[in-house]
Structure 1
Amino acid sequence: MDKSSINSVYRTLAKKIGEAKTELNYFNSYTFLVSVVLSAQATDKSVNAATKDLFKAVKNPRDMVALGERKLKGYIKTIGLYNSKGKNIIIISKILINDYKSKVPTKFKDLISLPGV
């Protein structure tokens, strides 16, 4: 298949499928990342219920580290695997602070290197 045919197929599929959407509630790229980590083996509905109050207290990696793993787990205990997810979220937050100036990386390889992603 030549490049023109591939582009044509891609455009057709893009029209049919549309943009990828999520039911997760989030406020910025960091809270989206946290929601994605929590969503593994969980429903978007259960993640949204857990993050409703969490995201009132936490907006960025520094807030999360200040909150601490124990308190974080209190917010997310209704989600399966919350112990490992809580630990990973704290580790991710520290990595973002130390290696990415508290920003969520935009490169795929950097994102998938984060624990739990």
Structure 2
Amino acid sequence: MSARILTVDDSASIRLTTRVALSNAGYAVSEAVNGQEGMDKAQAEQFDLIVTDLNMPIMDGLTMIESLRKIPSQTGIPIIFLTTESDADLKARAKAAGATGWLTKPFDPENLVKIVKKVLGR
């Protein structure tokens, strides 16, 4: 069974690029357009990994991670930030909140797949 990945990003083009790259690598991909929708989907379904943007309307990625990490069933799910931000303090906050990794946009889809494989071990 392929790993299930939730991508959370308000940009349709980023969601498309991410979905194509991960689907072509054999992963099952679901999408959300903001942190609140990501939270709702993460609680309704079981995912092996979440890839999220930081800056989004309604709920940003950092708030989503902090909220997810308070839910026992979500504490061990790896979360990768995929964002235009590269500030060291922000990276430290994301890591403290429970982010597993960080990839800066624009990104190479092959590099995303490589990171996902490394994080998932498959």
Taking structure 1 as the reference length, what is the TM-score of the superposition?
Answer: 0.32
> Could you say which structure has the higher helix fraction?
1
User: For the pair shown, which has the larger CA radius of gyration, 1 or 2?
Assistant: 1
> Could you say which structure has the higher strand fraction?
2
Taking structure 2 as the reference length, what is the TM-score of the superposition?
Answer: 0.31
